[in-house]
Amino acid sequence: MNFIKCRKLTPCIQNLKLSRLFSSQKTDKKGIVLGVYSEKSDEENKITLTPSAQKFNDLSQGKLLKNLKFIEPEIKAGKSFVFWGLHEEYQAVAVTGLGKEHTDFDTLELIDTRKESIRVAAAAGCNALKSVGIKNISIESLEDAESAAEGSLLGTWKFQEYKTKKDEFPKVELFKENKSDNEKWERGVIKATAQNIARKLADTPSNLLTPTIFSEQVMEICNSLDISIEIHDQTWAKQENMNAFLSVAKGSIEQPKFLELTYSKGDKKSPYVLIGKGVTFDAGGISIKPSASMDHMRADMGGAASVTATLYAIAKLKLPVNLKVLIPLVENMPSGGALKPGDVITAKNGKTICVDNTDAEGRLILADALCYSAKFKPKWVLDIATLTGAMMVAVGSGATGVFSNSDTLYKILQDASTITGDRVWRFPLWKHYLNQIAKNDAYDLNNIGQGRGGGSCTAAAFLKEFVPENTEWLHLDMAGVMGPQPDTSMPYLGKGMTGRPTRTLIEFIAAQAKS
3-state secondary structure 95-113: EEECCCCCCCCECCCCECH
Q: What is the pLDDT of residue 72?
A: 65
pLDDT digits (tens, 9 = 90+) for 313-336: 999 999 999 999 999 999 999 999
Give the integer Cα–Cα distance in Å for 214 and 200.
12
**pLDDT value for 316:** 98
Calculate mean pLDDT across residues 44-54.
87
Residue 205 to residues 44, 161, 198, 295, 478, Cα–Cα distance (Å) = 52, 10, 14, 8, 20
Whether 415 shows a pLDDT value over 50: the answer reads: yes
Q: Would the pTM count as exceeding 0.75?
A: yes
The strand pair at 380-385 and 171-174 is best described as unpaired
Q: Give residue 1's pLDDT.
A: 36
pLDDT above 80 (res 258): yes
CA 309, 226, 327, 466 dihedral sign is negative
| Residue predicted with more confidence, 131 or 180 | 131
Of the pLDDT bands very low, low, confident and very high (cuts 50, 70, 90), residue 24 is very low
Predicted local distance difference test score (pLDDT) of residue 28? 73
Q: Kindly state the greatest CA–CA separation across the chain.
A: 84
Which of the four pLDDT bands, split at 50, 70 and 90, describes residue 103? confident
d(CA 172, CA 194): 16
Average pLDDT in the 428-452 region?
95
The percent of residues in the chain predicted with pLDDT above 90, rounded, is 83
Pairing state between β 400-404 and 92-97: unpaired
What count of other Cβ atoms lies within 10 Å of the Cβ of residue 371? 23
What is the chain's mean pLDDT, rounded?
92
Residue 420 has pLDDT above 60, yes or no: yes
Cβ distance 136 to 172 under 8 Å? no
Q: What angle do CA 471, 472, 478 make, to 5 degrees?
A: 125
The confidence score (pLDDT) of residue 22 equals 40
Q: 343-346 and 171-174 as β-strands: parallel, antiparallel, unpaired?
A: unpaired
Domains of the chain: 3-176 (3.40.220.10), 196-514 (3.40.630.10)
User: Is the predicted pLDDT of residue 242 greater than 50, yes or no?
Assistant: yes
Mean pLDDT of 368-395: 97
| Strands 136-139, 45-49: pairing kind | unpaired
How far is residue 120's CA from residue 152's CA, in Å, rounded to a whole number?
Answer: 9
Catalytic residues: 289, 363
Q: What is the mean pLDDT of residues 435-453?
A: 95
Question: What are the φ and ψ backbone dihedral angles of 281, each rounded to 5 degrees?
Answer: -155, 135
pLDDT of residue 104: 74
What does the DSSP 8-state code read for residue 20?
H
Q: Give mean pLDDT, residues 107-128.
A: 96
Average pLDDT over residues 484-508: 92
Read off the pLDDT of residues 175-230 as tens digits, 9 standing for 90 and up: 977 778 999 999 999 999 999 999 999 999 999 999 999 999 999 999 999 999 99
Q: How confident is the model at residue 8 (pLDDT cuts 50, 70, 90)?
A: very low
Q: Phi/psi of residue 338, each to 5°?
A: -75, 155
Query: Between 211-222 and 302-317, two packed helices, what is the crossing angle to 10 degrees?
Result: 10
